[in-house]
Amino acid sequence: MKHPAFFLYILLILLLPTALRAESVIRINQLGYLPEASKTAVFLSDSPINLAQFELYNSLTDEKVFDAKPVAADASIWGKKAAFRLDFSSFTQTGGYYLKAGANQSPSFRIDHNVYDGTADFILNYMRQQRCGFNPYLKDSCHLHDGIIVDHPTRSDEHIDVTGGWHDASDYLQYVTTSANATYQMLFAYHQNPTAFGDAYQANGLPGKNGIPDILDEARWGLEWLLKMNPAKNEMYNQIADDRDHRGYRLPNKDTVSYGLGKSRPVYFVTGKPQGLGSHKNRSTGVASTAAKYASAFALGAKLFQANDPGFASTLSSKASDAWEFAQSDPGVCQTACVVSPYFYEEGNYLDDMELAAASLQEMTGEESFSKQASYWGNLEPVSPWMELHRARHYQYYPFVNLGHAWLAQSNNPQTSEQFKAFLKQGLEDLKRYAGDDPFLIGVPFVWCSNNFVVAATTQARLYRQITGDTSFLKMEAALTDWLLGCNPWGTSMICGLPAGGDYPAKPHSSITVELGETTNGGLVDGPVYQHIYNSLRGIQLLEADEYANYQGGKAVYHDDIGDYSSNEPTMDGTASLSFLLSSLEAEGQQQADKLPIKDSEGALIRMNPSNKEVYLIFSAHDLNNGGKTILNTLNKHQAQASFFFTGDFYAQPSNKQLIRKLIAAGHYLGAHSDKHLLYADWSKRDSLLVSRTQFEADLKSNYQKMKDWGIEASTAPFFLPPYEWYNQAVTDWAHQMGLKLINFTPGIRTNADYTTPNMPNYRSSEQIIKELKSFEKEDPHGLNGAIVLIHLGAEDKRPDKLFDRLDEILIFLNEKGYKPSRLR
């Protein structure tokens, strides 16, 4: 009979491999973080760990520089026992760092203004690699005999010169659907962030400067192909080649696939009706989705090339108008065609294409009639369907982001602007709802090309924030970006070759990798797919042991393996869609580095970006509110945004409820001003504290608790205005250590003197205050750029002239001088 201890020993042996396999990891954005950005890592564990704290350490000195409490999330979504979000957004010091959580340490990463520098240009490596015709990556040409017209009522079997453009993915099909969108995405990125792009390549894609930003060279490559595919009015072609292309790995200059057309490939005429050369047909219902994409790309191209090539711009302008007319003539979707299989791009909506085309024509011509047409089409599809439904068939709702909404949200018509801002917001709210308690805040459907949905979501979030100043979705926006760069269950970037030395797709499903042993630098891979999708696919066979095997137990799977065509194939249009996101992040970093907010000697922010013509009106209140209604009405009249700082007592006062409710509804910033309006430091001896740190923290926490009763979270209200606008370095440090940014009015602007009364020696009348404000604007080297202008929400009865009664005059002055009143963000 065996001793019981023997069985215990055997049991331990059996359990040991499982225990050894148990892992805990910290996932980060491998590229790094901008200093002023939302910064969050994610902790995952196979064990049910109760994590109480995490710390941030300097990579060089191993000195702890920050610690905070993690936020628990639903680990089961990704097949784990514990998950926490590690938010260190309030730490803004540049340098190299790593995180510790329990016994686990993250890889080192940077916090710096330049972490995204060069990334917008880096992805163009893949676009050049995908070029058809002359391919600069291979230094050779391909598909020079394209193509032979098919499915045309009178011209089938004729040759047409359509060589050029880009191959769609690792196959060599070419679609107007994806190519026109890719062209537009690059043009839009340059329009929004022109300073983010360099000039290191010639028009043909070979190294060498030509005086034109490389992003425009690449977009022009797409435009010139689109012109070939639209040779005459109402004559459009939608694709080159079909699924007979899928014949295994080969380089494009070695492509021997035959379509029975000699050396040529089929070129599909746009019919607006179901198409397919074999038994399989698509479900086309019209021409609008394709024709409108032509119109959009031509229109924005015409605007952007006007300066350096007016002849080319004129051609594009004429083509844009013709394409728009054609789109209107036959509403419906024009889908891609197939032959040997029933699979095609199942685009099912064209309303967004019509909206974007009209908005782009308005941008090109300045004609308000196009804005009205864009609004009409946009109202028919307020939210991109995949965001609302959380599902989509392959390319069913394409493009994945509706940039037409972004154009209209910036309309000069206030009603149109507010309506489309609301549409953008609704889509983001849908995504946030679907994300739920996911530790990575990911609310996209994990169907094929899920990374394209991620890029679309973070693009919409960033545009919404830039247009409105609303930071409600800031953490989700950052999480979506971080997902693409390594903060995901697998800990890998989804962009081949980025960052150098990091974990990124080294074995993408691509002939480049198979034939040349190289990754497809710059290419965005498809991304994770749901378990049930992956398990249902045929022909997938992993070629190597899965390095991410321990992270495939969640709702989606991803493999860095040549054999996984579902999650690891780079796509041309997905890569192009990164242009706006990466250029925006690069531009943001440049702005932070070159135009940092100005601080005073006590460490408080006293001026925001001094290079932007934005003025930050701030209003504070404790016990007086006789100007609240006037201020709100005046701001509404001028459609101006501002920031309000109230004490806890003010938030709790019943008579203030209506005003606070209206301020929140109007989208103004509401922040903290202490709970009891304490005086922190002696008036005559500033470095002498009148409160202890414990008193300070308790008072401020009470302020934020009362703000929370209004739905205002500390995470979305990081700016803190000290009572009496009086503080010292210790108070500033205490605020920073609580994750807050202490601010004050810009010195020299005396609007804060609106509290004074005639019996005071420092009395200033409103007339004198406004005169001094105008004088400051004229004499200061920066004018009022980035200035923080404080006005009190109330004034004593014995002050005869209330400055808030003259807010209209101040706003008219700011408008005349070209300043934009903005809220803190």
pLDDT, one tens digit per residue, over 614-643 is: 999 999 999 999 999 999 999 999 999 999
Q: What is the pLDDT of residues 399-429, one digit of tens each?
A: 999 999 999 999 999 999 999 999 999 999 9
The answer to whether position 768 is within a domain reads: yes
Which segment of 160-164, 275-279, 451-455, 524-528 scores lowest on mean pLDDT?
Answer: 275-279
- With respect to residue 683, please indicate whether it lies within any of the assigned structural domains: yes
On whether both 459 and 374 belong to a single domain, the answer is yes
Closest CA to 120 of 586, 462, 458, 520: 586
For residues 641 and 521, state if they share a domain.
no
Structure tokens at 113: 């203004």
314, 390: one domain = yes
pLDDT 10s digits, 89-133 = 999 988 788 999 999 999 888 888 888 989 999 999 999 999 999
**Are residues 524 and 664 located together in one domain of the fold?**
no
Is the pTM for the entire model greater than 0.75? no
- pLDDT tens-digit readout, 327-348: 999 999 999 999 998 889 999 9
Give the CATH number of the domain where residue 39 resides.
Answer: 2.60.40.10
Looking at residue 59, its pLDDT comes to 80
Q: Could you tell me which residue, 604 or 251, shows the higher pLDDT?
A: 251
Q: What pLDDT is attached to residue 73?
A: 98
> What's residue 201's pLDDT?
96
The whole domain housing 668 covers 596-821
Distance separating the N- and C-terminal Cα atoms of the chain: 74
- DSSP assignment letter at 265: -
Q: Does one domain contain both 518 and 377?
A: yes
Residue 223 has pLDDT above 80, yes or no: yes
| pLDDT tops 80 at residue 738 | no
Cis peptide upstream of residue 821 (ω within 30 degrees of 0): no
**Model confidence at 596, in pLDDT bands (50, 70, 90)?**
low
Q: What is the pLDDT of residue 684?
A: 85
Same domain, 106 and 127: no
Q: List, for residues 240-286, the tens digit of each pLDDT value.
A: 999 999 888 999 999 999 999 999 999 999 999 999 999 999 999 99
Q: Region of 236 please: left (phi>0), alpha (psi -120 to 50) or beta.
A: beta
Please give the Cα distance from 480 to 817 (Å, whole number). 38
Q: Is the per-residue pLDDT at 20 higher than 80?
A: no
Q: Same domain, yes or no, for 685 and 778?
A: yes
Same domain flag for 368 and 410: yes
- Model confidence pLDDT, tens digit, residues 39-73: 999 999 999 999 999 999 988 678 899 999 999 99
Report pLDDT digits (tens) over 171-191. Answer: 999 999 999 999 999 999 999
Kindly give, in sequence order, each residue whose CB lies less than 8 Å from that of residue 309, ignoring residues fewer than 6 positions away: none
In one-letter notation, the amino acid at residue 682 is D
Q: Are 123 and 253 contained in the same domain?
A: yes
Final residue in a domain of this structure, among 538, 553, 586: 586
On whether both 81 and 157 belong to a single domain, the answer is no
Identify whether 147 is preceded by a cis peptide bond (ω within 30 of 0): yes
Checking if the pLDDT of 455 tops 60, the result is yes
Q: pLDDT for 473-521, tens place per residue?
A: 999 999 999 999 999 999 999 999 998 878 999 999 999 999 999 999 9
**1-5, 166-170, 380-384, range with the lowest pLDDT:** 1-5
Indicate the helix (H) or strand (E) that contains 620: strand 614-621
- Of the candidates 516, 511, 462, which has an alpha carbon nearest to the alpha carbon of residue 484? 462
**Crossing angle of helices 628-638/807-816, nearest 10°?**
30
pLDDT at residue 714 in the model: 82
Q: Please state the domain count of the chain.
A: 3
Specify the pLDDT at position 60. Answer: 67
pLDDT of residue 9: 35
pLDDT of residue 594: 55
Residue 778 included in any domain: yes
Mean residue pLDDT across the chain? 93
More confident position, 760 or 595: 760
Q: Which of 349 and 502 is assigned the larger pLDDT?
A: 349
pLDDT over 90 (residue 18): no
Asked if residue 351 has pLDDT above 50, the reply is yes
CATH number, position 556: 1.50.10.10
752 lies in some domain = yes
The answer to whether residue 10 sits within a structural domain is no
* Domain match, 529 and 660 both: no
798 CB burial (10 A radius; 0-12, 13-18, 19+): exposed
Question: Looking at 93, 111, 129, which one is the last position of a domain?
Answer: 111
- Answer yes or no: do 566 and 616 share one domain: no
